[in-house]
Amino acid sequence: MPSLTNENIYTVSRLNAEVRLLLENEMGIVWLVGEISNFSAPVSGHWYLSLKDSRAQVKCAMFKGNNRFVAFKPKNGQQVLVKARLSLYEPRGDYQVIIESMQPEGDGRLQQEFEKLKMQLAAEGLFAQSNKRPLPENPQCVGVITSKTGAALFDILDVLKRRDPSLPVIIYPTLVQGEQAAIQIAQAIGRANARQECDVLIVGRGGGSLEDLWCFNHEIVARTIAASQIPIISAVGHEIDVTIADFVADVRAPTPSAAAELVSRDNSNKRQAFASYQHKLQSAMRYYTSQQAHHLRALVHALEKQHPTYRLQRQSQQLDDTEMRLQRAIQRYISTQREHIGQQYHQLQLHSPVQTLAKQQHRLAKSEQRLLDVMEKKLLRTAHRLTLAAEKLDAVSPLATLKRGYSITRDSSGKVIHRAHDLKTGDQLITRVADGEVFSTVN
């Protein structure tokens, strides 16, 4: 077993830091397509999300210095194409993607394919100025490759009719939009070269979206233009629209009408030559600017790896992560306290004097009712006994005897007379009968 030293024993922090450097330095820039989920935008201005497909997902961060250039508001479920670099969030050891640019999947894929083909053809020399063919000073016939019903054709014909009505024009009709358009454009260029009917070709159409103009970004069109023996003017869209055909063509015109002006003899040969050189210079400058911009982006990316912004971004992400964990902890604490207060309130309600008093009042009311019931029963029993006693008393009452015809005689002092010899002449007597008293004198 090899001996261990302090140099080959890693701490977790050192391991994560070195893995982060490996990911950032070895992988470089990657293009990634996926569906947005778990999107959040805290007050710091950074974006945090996950990109997923049917089998996997990866955590992503897009810092506000980059996300302010995104032209749409991301939402969960949206398919996007991102340009990003790999990294590692050291505090948690999470592998993540740092997004530098974001586009909806459709537009982003087209732009990525555009850049890829442009770099490939440029490396092969198809854009080189040495390969450009000069326009004829006095064209004898002009070929137009475009849609036979499009506005571009009518604009070209209007300009040629106004400036040089005697100049012959041959139209090679073709589709300028859709899946089959690129093949038809290449075939029309090949047909014009085979026939050798004209000495300059205008290839183009009116303006539109990147998807509308995509047939002019196909490799087959670019290589056919480069192989053409007839000088070609690219006149695709408006001045702000740029296609691969513009880079390969001998001259790029900002609009179809401008292309018609270039081949018409309204101006002197000197002005035509000047315009041709001017457009060649513009094409060369655009190509040079594009190359320098690519080189600059590479330098900027190399510089960014050493820039303190990355460290600030990681610290800012850590701050956001801590803030979100703190918010979740506060919410859990508040929820726990609310539940505890609810339990205490329930216990307080169970022991509340109001409820106790109500129970005692209920018990008192029941006691009062029982007392009244007992008193009423007792009064009834007493009244019944009184009735029975009255009946018994009435049975032995002297009044009842008087009612049967008997009487009671008393002297003036109220003494009951029991015997006749107790009386003497002149005594006053009171005799009580059933319906009154009789007063008499003893003779």
Element (H, E) at 86: strand 79-89
Query: Tokens 């307080």 sit at which residue?
Result: 348
- Taking the C-alpha atoms of residue 25 and residue 370, their distance in angstroms, rounded to an integer, is 94
Instruction: Assess if CATH 1.10.10.10 describes domain 12-103.
Output: no
Looking at residue 293, its amino acid is A
Tell me what pLDDT residue 7 has: 66
Give the mean pLDDT per block of 10 residues along the chain (443 residues): 64 81 78 89 91 90 89 87 86 86 72 78 85 88 92 90 88 90 92 93 85 84 91 85 86 90 67 72 84 81 70 80 89 92 84 78 89 90 88 74 75 81 83 82 85
Tell me what pLDDT residue 172 has: 94
Nearest Cα neighbor of 116 from 10, 9, 29 is: 29
Residue 166: CB partners within 8 Å, gap ≥ 6? none
Q: CB-side exposure of 398: number of CA atoms within 13 Å?
A: 6
DSSP state of 55: S
Tell me what pLDDT residue 359 has: 81
DSSP state of 126: T
Tell me what pLDDT residue 186 has: 93
- Taking the C-alpha atoms of residue 107 and residue 109, their distance in angstroms, rounded to an integer, is 6
Strands 79-89 and 428-433: unpaired
Tell me what pLDDT residue 270 has: 47
Query: What class has domain 125-131+138-263?
Result: alpha beta
Residue 390: CB partners within 8 Å, gap ≥ 6? none
Burial of 1-31, coded b for 16+ CB within 10 Å and e otherwise, reads: eeeeeeeeeeeeeeebeeebeebbeeeeeee
Element (H, E) at 378: helix 353-396
Distance of CA 211 to the CA centre of its chain: 28
Nearest Cα neighbor of 45 from 310, 325, 317, 307 is: 317
Q: What ranges do the domains of the chain cover?
A: 12-103, 125-131+138-263, 266-301, 402-442
Distances from the Cα of 260 to the Cαs of 151, 153, 283, in angstroms?
13, 10, 18
- SS3 helix, strand, coil % of the chain, rounded to 5? 55, 20, 30
- Taking the C-alpha atoms of residue 88 and residue 93, their distance in angstroms, rounded to an integer, is 6
Number of neighbours of residue 255 by Cβ within 10 angstroms? 21
If you count them, how many residues does the chain have? 443
- Taking the C-alpha atoms of residue 155 and residue 149, their distance in angstroms, rounded to an integer, is 11
- Taking the C-alpha atoms of residue 309 and residue 324, their distance in angstroms, rounded to an integer, is 22
